[in-house]
Structure 1
Amino acid sequence: MSHRMIWNQTAHFGAGCITVIPEELARRGFAKALVVTDPVLVETGVAGRVTRLLDEAGFPYEVYSDVVPNPTIQNVLDGVAALASAGADVLVAIGGGSPQDTCKAIGIVTANPTFSDVRSLEGVAPTTKPSVPIVAVPTTAGTASETTVNYVITDVERQRKFVCVDPHAIPVLAVVDPEMMSSAPRSLIVATGLDALTHAIEGYTTLGAWELSDLFHLKAIQVIAQALAPAADGDAVAAERMSMAQYVAGMGYSNVGLGLVHAMAHPLGAVFGAPHGVANGILLAPVMAFNAPATGEKYRDIAAAFGVADAAELPLEEVREAAVSAVAALTTGLGNPTRISEIGAGESDVAVLAQAAYDDVCRGGNPREVTVEEIAGLYRSLL
């Protein structure tokens, strides 16, 4: 069997590493950038940390800052128009998953205009040209969009999210600077950290997992289990470890896939506007419990990563329960919601949510086969 692994051409890590951006742009021969970000990052001055560097270097740029949470098709189309108007030859994405994903779609549609309806990018789209080059600067420790081939767009008209999987979309350069994440509020640190944990656990147990991806995911689980709670409480060392761990998880899951947690979280974001990490946090432990019979010995490793005593010796069923309990304890300890009713879902929504989750591309990677009815039952158990 053949396994493919795709990562950035180059990545920089560490406090203050954003200072490399102007020289990297110049070294690669770019002439002008379109900076893609969101209004909050502009207002709080986070995006300005990068644009000031461009100003000081005399590197031309324009800013497109209309990206919304759970970015929409219209966001993408407006960004494509902004890129054309700017005459830029490189994109600089500053933000969490929303600006990063929007930027990927802008770059792909610009390079492959036959996909300008955006919806046709769903799944593994047959694009033929690489995206307009992207420099990705994450401001959260969660999505790992800066190193993945995936991006997610919301179809407002149809009230659904769709996942796009395209090696042409991966940024050429990732700049992972924990200082860009330092001003994030606790709620965002928690949500994005739970997203990263979900990536690591789903990537570790997905059907496409193999030895190399397992190395990345298990390391990410180990670090996140130790670092997420202190990072949420303001520990700078833990925050830097989280910035690394979420990237490492992205290196893995981008190449092997995810599972039912993400498939069920996407409709919650599309219909109720739930932050993606919050939805993942609600679903992760319950879906782990559902998947447990199909995961072999892998929950033993997860339990050990969370510090479960005697994880190596416990009977398999007990260690699986311990792994699920450890994840649930972290989630509740961080104060994440535990029920979908807390984000607005009710019994009347279950059928639509279940069908959307079943149709989601991430469901195909789940280690346990699942029916629409079983998905509905999982949602219903979380009302």
Structure 2
Amino acid sequence: MRIGPGAAGQLGEVLRSLGLARPLIVTDPYLAGNGTARQLVADLAAQAIPATVYDRTRPDPTTTSVQGAVTVLAEGDFDCVVGLGGGSPMDTAKAVALLGTTGRPMRDYAAPTVTDTPALPLIAVPTTAGSGSECTRYTIITDDSGDTDEKMLCAGLAFLPTAALVDPLLTLPMPARLTADTGIDALTHAIEAYVSRRANPFTDGLALTALTAIARSLRTAYAHPDDLRARATMMLASTQAGMAFSNASVALVHGMSRPVGAHFHVAHGLSNAMLLPTVTAYSVPAATSRYADCARAMRLVGEAGSDEAAADALVAELRALNTDLAVPGPARHGIDPEQWERMTPTMARQALASGSPANNPRVPDQAAIEELYRSLMA
């Protein structure tokens, strides 16, 4: 990993250190249009490393959209993939690096399958402070081959980048909405990693450190987008939270968030933000002391006082954060309540099938998840 302002400029050096020289850069139209991808290509060309850019990734990548990049990879002479962007380009790049070596459909790699087989080397260059995808062994691809639109969680070392260049300068152009959504995504990763039934001492340290940093810097990065210190703090915290949840897993918020994104085309960080206060309040009784630790790491309360009061302060802060960062509920976001109700049983089934709710301190059944979905629309 290379971390800090200017880290992205070390891509050529990192490629050479890995014995790589023919990268396919997988990114999105925005980063191709604003010059970020072009700058990477120019930097590599100056070091005699030719690079090709695939810039047709889409938000919430699907099996169909991924296949377009796989085709480009198969038609060229590439020895690695560079994922440039936020969670969606990174998820696409991870899928491409694997499918380009196996030729099998993405559905074969959906949870509960764990894929540790080698893929093409992947170098991650994140441009948002949220997904943590640069250091996780997960990718999420929507199956659009049928009528379910299921967001498939795919896991294993095959999806873990070989190297990551974590450069906060790349986050400076992020608009306020993206800053908020990706920041709460990182916050959700840290909280869920800490309260997960699979948490361990290694992930606990990363999660609590990330929580302290996010609580200190997210509102500043949102209100003052040119504040490089806040941006750098959020970028590092996102990476730390990504390492935490990659080793401890996420829980109920993410399990419920993926179907919302798939069926209503809500950005992943935003759907997490919609769910986080409500799901946390539901989960607190089963792990009050762990949620209290989160509140103390975020400096919401002091060391004195009861765990119950600290956990209550955490829930109150999550609600206040959504207000301060203008996070809409499903109805305010424009989702039709009747369609939401019709899809609620399907979303609950898909949430359970992902496996993430089983990591939650309070493990819900389908009826409980349906009720949580309904409460968001109330």
* Pairwise same-fold verdict (TM > 0.5): yes
Instruction: Kindly indicate whether the alpha-carbon contact (under 8 Å) linking 1:282 and 1:340 is maintained by their aligned counterparts in 2.
Output: no
1:43 maps to what in 2? Answer: 33
Q: Which amino acid aligns with 2:307?
A: L
Evaluate the alpha carbon distance shift between residue 323 and residue 352 of structure 1 in structure 2; reply closer, same or farther with a 3 A threshold: same
* Residues 1:338 and 2:332 are matched in the alignment: no
Which consecutive unaligned segments of at least 5 residues does structure 2 have? Answer: none
Q: Deviations over 1:28-73 (max 9, x none)?
A: 2213110100111101112222112112212111111110000010
Amino acid at match of 1:16: G
Q: In the alignment, does 2:238 pair up with 1:252? A: no
CA contact 1:266–1:276 (8 Å) conserved in 2:
yes
Aligned with 2:100 (options 77, 87, 110): 110
Q: TM-score, normalised by structure 1?
A: 0.93
What's the counterpart of residue 89 of structure 2?
99
Which of residues 12, 16, 19 in structure 2 aligns to 1:26?
Answer: 16
Q: Does 1:150 align with 2:144?
A: no
Indicate whether 1:239 and 2:231 are aligned.
yes
Alignment counterpart, residue 72 of structure 1, candidates 34, 47, 62: 62
Deviation at 1:341, TM superposition (A): 5.8
Map Cα deviations across residues 71-105 of structure 1 (whole Å, 9 max, x no partner): 01012222111111111001111000111111111
Contact persistence 1:204–1:213 (CA under 8 A): yes
Q: Which amino acid aligns with 1:123?
A: A
The structure 1 residue matched to 2:297, chosen from 280, 284, 305, is 305
Q: C-alpha root-mean-square deviation of aligned residues, in Å? A: 1.4
Per the alignment, residue 126 of structure 2 pairs with 138
* Residue 207 of structure 2: aligned partner: 217
> Which 5+ residue runs of structure 1 have no aligned equivalent?
1-10
Structure-2 separation of matches of 1:279 and 1:340: 12
Q: Which amino acid aligns with 2:143?
A: D
> Structure 1 CA distance, aligned partners of 2:59 and 2:331?
19
Deviates further, 249-258 or 354-363: 354-363
Task: Provide the rounded CA distance (Å) in 1 between the counterparts of 2:17 and 2:155.
Answer: 29
Over 3 Å counting, the alpha-carbon distance change for 1:221 and 1:128 in structure 2 is: closer
Rounded to whole Å, the distance in 2 between the matches of 1:127 and 1:380 is 35
- String of CA shifts for 1:168-188, please: whole Å, max 9, x gaps: 221111000011111111111
Deviation beyond 4 Å, 4+ runs, structure 1: none
Corresponding residue of 2:306 = 315
Structure 1 residues 353 and 126, CA gap change in structure 2 (3 angstroms): closer
Match for residue 204 of structure 1 among 194, 207, 210:
194
Q: 1:340 to 1:354 in 2, by over 3 A?
A: farther
Q: What is the TM-score when the length of structure 2 is the normalising length?
A: 0.94
How far did residue 342 of structure 1 move? Answer: 2.5
Alignment pair present for 1:350 and 2:320: no
Name the residue aligned to 1:6. Answer: none
Q: Which residue identity is paired with 2:124?
A: A
Q: State the identity as a percent.
A: 35
Which of 82, 101, 110 aligns to 1:122? It is: 110
Q: Is 2:359 the counterpart of 1:365?
A: yes
> C-alpha separation between the residues in 1 aligned to 2:220 and 2:41?
30
Question: Which amino acid in structure 1 is aligned with residue 28 of structure 2?
Answer: D
Query: Residues of 2 paired with 1:263 and 1:317: CA distance?
Result: 25
Does structure 2 retain, via aligned residues, the 8 Å contact 1:62–1:86?
Answer: no
How far is 1:307 from its partner?
2.5
| Amino acid in structure 2 at the alignment position of 1:191 | D
Secondary structure of the structure 2 residue equivalent to 1:20: helix
Task: Please state how far the C-alpha of 1:152 moved relative to its aligned partner.
Answer: 0.3
**Aligned 8 A contact 1:145 1:250 in 2:** yes
